[in-house]
Every structure is written in C-alpha cells, then in structure tokens.
C-alpha cells in the first residue's frame, strides 16, 4: 500500500472534503510491486527469526512421550507445534517471494534454501506426534478435547489423525518410511535430468527463426500459424524424444513401483486408495470423473470439428490443437484488468467486492515481467498473520486479464478462510484450492460475453470457454485415466516398459480426440512431457475443481443470494472439514454424476452458439 506522510494525508483529506464527488471517482494508484516489509522489515530480521524458530524446535521434542499425560499437556504441545509452524511458514513465504524477485541473486536463493531446510527440520521435529496420538487412543484424546473449549481448533486435526490409524505405522515404521523419501524421489530427478538437460534436442526453423526444440521450445512454437511448420514441429520433437522412450519408461515404471510400495507399507488396497485417503476423498469421485468425461467425449469431438472449421481446414490433426482460432485486438493494462474484474465479480456480492477492491489496491502483488523475475503466476497465502501475496507477469492480453482474476480468486479464498478460521483450520486442500480461482475465471468470461460486440469478439470468448473444457477438464481427466491405468496394470504384476506406456497413452489420445483427429503413433510418448505423473494422483483435481466451479458459477449468476452465500461459506470453511464435504454442504456433490453432466451440457450449449455464429 502506498505510504503517505502526515502532510500528504492532511491535504488529501482536505481535498476530499472540498470535492467529495471527484474524490470518490478517483482511481487508486496501483502498486506494481509487493511490500515484503509487512512480513519482515529487513533481511536481517528474517535471519534473526529463522534462528529463533530453529532454536525453538527442541522444545517440541520435550513433549515426546507425554501427550497422554493430561489435557493440559496435550494443549501445550499442540500450541507449541502450531506456533512454530506458523512462524516457519511466514519465513518460507518471505524467502520464496524474495527469491522470485530475481532468480539471479545468489543471496536470495540461499535464503530460500535455508527456509526449505528449516521446514524439513520442522517435519523431523514433529514426525513422532501422529503415532503418539494413535498410541494414546481415541477415547482419551476425545475426552481431553471435550473438556477444554480452547482445544476446539485442534479437534479436526486429531480426528483426521485417528481416522487414518489403520494406515499409520509405529515410530520405527514411520521413521523407516520417512527415510525412503530421497530414494523414491529418484525417478523424478532422473526424468528431469533427461528432459531438461541431457537429451540433445534438435533445432528447427519456425517463422524464419531457428528454435531449439526442447520441451520449452516445443511448447512455445507448437501453436505456429503455418500448418506445415506445426506438423514438422510435432514430428521433429517426438522423433527426437522417441530415442529415449525406454529410459523414460524405466523412470516412470520405477515411480509407480514406489507408489505401490508406499501403499502396501501403509496397508492400503491400491495406490489410488492411498493417494485419496489423506484428504478423505472417496474413490468414487475419481472414477465418476473418468466415467462422465468418457460419456461426454462426443461433445469434445464436436468442438474439434468446430476448431477445424475456424482454422479453415479440410481435416484435423493433433498438431492443430494449439494454434489460436480466434483473435481479440483489445488490450488490458493492470488498472483496466482490475476494473473489469471488479465488474465481473459483482455477482459475488458487496462484501466480496469491497474486500476485493481493497486488496487489489494494496501492495500485495508483483505485477509486471522483468529480467530475472520468476515466470508464471501464483498466490502464496501461507503467512496467516499478514495477507496473501501474488506473483503475476501481466503483459496486457486477455490471458493476463484472466490470470489476474484467477490468482485473485485464490487470494480471496485465502483471505476469507483466514478470517473465518483459526490458523489450524485455515489451510484448504488441493481439492478445493482451484475452485475459487476457476469460479472467478468463469464469472469473468460470462461478463465479457455479455459485453461482446460483434461475431468475432463473441467467438473469441466462447472459444475461451471451450479451451477451458478441453485443457482443464478433458485433458486433465485423460491424464488421470492414464495414471490410474498404469498403476492398476503394475498392481496386477504386469511390467511397464516405455513402449507399453506409449501404447496405453496413444489409445487414450485416440479415444479422447475421436476418429476425425489424425494422431501419429509417435505422439503416444507425450506422457513423458508433463511432470504430472510424478505426483501421484494429483492432476485429476484440476478437472474436479473446474466442474465444481462451473456448478457454483451457474448458481451465482442465477442471482440467488442464498446460493451465493453457500459458495462463500465453502471458501470460508478453509480446512475445517474434508473437501468433498465442504462442497457438498454448499450444494455441489462431487461423488455424483450431476455436476459433471451439468457442466458438459453447458459446453454443448456453447458449441450450439458457436455453430449458429458460423452459420
């Protein structure tokens, strides 16, 4: 937030009194960089606090073996762990943000590493707590909590730990599993070394310029407007990639075996069961998502045919998926993006709107790209006692506007949760993390469609809806189906080679894209391109989030205050309940087919309008 001297504040107040209408109409001067002094006034203050937190870690170990002594001891231990975790997270936020300001500043990168090391030490210092809570037993823990109102904020954490008792090992077992972390991370490290460093990627000429066709180069030029060049990009990239199919297959197959080992060590029937049990998500959610996506594949195939028409092609190839099919000449600077977002989000009500306006005018965000700054966009909200921070790389196109709304959706989710919940219950899980951001995106595109002028502009925004469906719902579900298939194959004792993985993925590519999209068998190696499959059963949550967001957005746009408030209640719930139950209480049941079918029906209606516009 901009700092004013007393004199400046006095003059502004006087001006406002003299000309109230003009003062109210004035737009705030938006800070373009964040103010990290709200976390720590200096780097030296950060260092002092890091040392203080590290010195406090042994105090946690002093409670080991004593949690069953009394309610007072359990409360004291819980408070100590909560306090040091809260402080360590604040240290991590500062170090991460400072490091991303300029990746070339060695001191800031060293600080980031020190923060990560501290988090590892915190994990080691608290690893004994869950086994000990289980040893104390549900009866005693529940009695301790029931007898002290101050323990209410710890109740859900204890219940969740006790729920997973059948899958928690004793101290020795947990220590043994913890020691496997580095070994189990090996496959991902080898894959990254191959893909990001060791493969001698070819060069290709695209639009008159030579491009090194590594994974980043491929992503950058696969959307080139020249169709012949597009196909050459795909064929050259996957041709070079194919040479390493066996090695890449060995890394992923080893990763899958690691997942199976961990699941069996914790007595789960399958890798999927182990992955979804942490946030208590029923397996039915995963399987229903895949079933409903497959049921809706004819709608996706219909979109590919409309894309073919928009590109003016006689046929459709997999290399035609990425080039833009519509164009928008409008530009959106940061003040304009903020103003549009505020208008688009009005259906969320005056309370949300006022908070959004206040937050977006504060010094919480590093907005513009520059040399050395981290790429991409994110929100980091782990500093409970301060506020969320955002990193953007705003370049003025519609994608930047959409990203602005998206990341501020995360920030508002965090603000609402932190104000409604104590620190211990404020951190929401991945399953609900993308809902608020995607609701904002959907409200934005609905707003833009309402004001669209002419056929071309309307087609542009309709295609944004379609690309969300293709890229976030169908593609992520295809990834999820592949991940489930390879784990289930390995769990039956079958071998996974690079060739077999490529054949399995190629079959999915053909099914998801339909008979009218030409796909070369070599493209089946695409499974090795994203790093998603090295985070077990993670990516499906993008697809479930966009589904839940679609359901909420439709209800919010319906104008009923009760449904809007139910959605805001889900955001305020934070991590106070299991994510599927949070959404269900707000009216969206992700275990049933209904939200998926409603979203796919909306997708079909979008295609109806595009076809009408195309004649």
Catalytic residue annotation: 407
Residues 103, 110: Cα–Cα separation, whole Å: 11
Note whether 314 and 529 are within 8 A (CB). no
Which residues, including other chains, have CB under 8 Å from residue 312's CB and lie 6 or more apart? none
20-49 burial: b if 16+ Cβ within 10 Å, else e: eeeeeeeeeebbeebebebbbeeeeebeeb
530 Cα distance to chain centroid: 15
Residues 609, 540: Cα–Cα separation, whole Å: 29
Q: Which residue has the tokens 């990560």?
A: 116
Token couple for 57: 């870690």
Phi-psi region of 444 (alpha: psi -120 to 50; beta: other; left: phi over 0): alpha
Note whether 606 and 615 are within 8 A (CB). no
- Of the CA atoms within 13 Å of residue 39, those in its CB half-sphere come to 32
Classify the C-alpha dihedral 91-97-102-103 as positive or negative: positive
Q: Rounded to whole angstroms, what are the CA distances from 356 to 75, 346, 398, 411?
A: 36, 10, 20, 9
Residues 65, 73: Cα–Cα separation, whole Å: 11
Token couple for 157: 């954490």
Helix then strand then coil, in percent of the chain rounded to 5, is: 70, 5, 25
Q: Rounded to whole angstroms, what are the CA distances from 258 to 262, 268, 489, 491, 536?
A: 6, 14, 14, 11, 10
Q: Please list the residues that pair with 204 across neighbouring strands.
A: 211
Rg from Cα positions in the chain: 26
The SS3 of residue 40 is coil
The SS3 of residue 102 is coil
- Of the CA atoms within 13 Å of residue 44, those in its CB half-sphere come to 0
Strands 365-366 and 378-380, by their bridges, are unpaired
Residues 487, 376: Cα–Cα separation, whole Å: 31
Distance from the first to the final alpha carbon of the chain: 51
Of 263, 606, 275, the C-alpha closest to 459 is 606
């Amino acid at each position: 937030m901009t700092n004013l001297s007393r004199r400046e504040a006095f003059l502004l107040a006087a001006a406002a009194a003299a000309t109230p209408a003009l003062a109210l109409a004035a737009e705030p001067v938006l800070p373009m960089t964040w103010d990290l002094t709200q976390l720590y006034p200096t780097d030296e203050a950060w260092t002092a606090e890091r040392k203080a937190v590290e010195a406090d870690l042994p105090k946690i170990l002093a409670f080991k073996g004593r949690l069953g002594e009394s309610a007072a001891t359990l409360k004291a231990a819980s408070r100590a762990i909560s306090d040091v975790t809260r402080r360590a997270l604040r240290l991590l936020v500062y170090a991460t943000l400072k490091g991303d300001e300029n990746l070339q500043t060695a001191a800031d990168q060293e600080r980031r590493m020190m923060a990560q090391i501290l988090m590892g030490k915190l994990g080691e210092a608290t690893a004994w707590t869950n086994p000990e809570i289980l040893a104390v037993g549900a009866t005693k823990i529940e009695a301790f909590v029931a007898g002290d109102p101050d323990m209410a904020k710890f109740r859900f954490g204890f219940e969740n730990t006790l729920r997973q008792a059948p899958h928690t090992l004793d101290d020795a077992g947990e220590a043994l599993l913890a020691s496997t972390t580095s070994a189990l991370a090996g496959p991902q490290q080898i894959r990254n070394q191959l893909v990001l460093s060791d493969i001698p990627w070819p060069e290709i000429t695209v639009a008159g310029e030579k491009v090194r066709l590594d994974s980043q180069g491929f992503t950058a030029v696969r959307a080139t407007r020249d169709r012949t060049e597009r196909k050459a990009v795909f064929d050259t990239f996957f041709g070079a990639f194919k040479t390493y199919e066996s090695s890449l297959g060995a890394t992923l197959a080893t990763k899958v075996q690691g997942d199976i080992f961990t699941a069996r060590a914790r007595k789960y029937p399958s890798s999927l069961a182990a992955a979804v049990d942490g946030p208590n998500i029923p397996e039915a959610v995963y399987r229903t998502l895949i079933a409903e996506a497959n049921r809706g594949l004819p709608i996706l195939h219909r979109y590919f045919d409309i894309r073919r028409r928009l590109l003016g092609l006689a046929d459709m190839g997999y290399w035609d998926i990425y080039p833009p099919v519509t164009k928008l000449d409008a530009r959106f600077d940061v003040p304009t993006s903020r103003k549009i977002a505020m208008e688009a989000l009005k259906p969320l009500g005056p309370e949300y709107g006022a908070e959004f306006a206040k937050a977006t005018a504060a010094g919480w965000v590093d907005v513009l790209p520059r040399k050395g700054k981290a790429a991409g966009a994110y929100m980091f909200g782990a500093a409970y006692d301060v506020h969320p921070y955002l990193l953007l790389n705003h370049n003025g196109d519609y994608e930047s506007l959409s990203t602005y709304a998206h990341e501020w959706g995360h920030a508002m989710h965090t603000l609402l949760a932190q104000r409604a919940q104590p620190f211990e219950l404020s951190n929401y899980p991945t399953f609900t993390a993308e809902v608020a951001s995607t609701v904002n995106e959907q409200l934005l595109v609905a707003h833009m469609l309402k004001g669209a002028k002419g056929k071309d502009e309307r087609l542009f925004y309709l295609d944004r809806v379609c690309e969300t469906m293709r890229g976030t719902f169908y593609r992520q579900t295809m990834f999820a189906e592949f991940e489930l298939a390879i784990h289930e194959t390995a769990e039956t004792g079958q071998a996974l080679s690079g060739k077999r993985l490529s054949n399995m993925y190629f079959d999915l590519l053909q099914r998801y894209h339909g008979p009218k999209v030409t796909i070369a068998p070599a493209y089946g190696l695409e499974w090795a391109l994203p790093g998603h499959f090295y985070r077990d059963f993670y990516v499906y949550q993008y697809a479930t989030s966009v589904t839940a967001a679609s359901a909420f957005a439709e209800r919010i746009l319906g104008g009923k205050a009760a449904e809007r408030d139910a959605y805001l209640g889900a955001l305020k719930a934070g991590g106070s309940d299991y994510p599927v139950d949070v959404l269900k209480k707000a009216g969206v049941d992700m275990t049933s087919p209904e939200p998926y079918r409603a979203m796919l029906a909306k997708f079909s209606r979008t295609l109806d309008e595009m076809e009408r516009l195309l004649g």
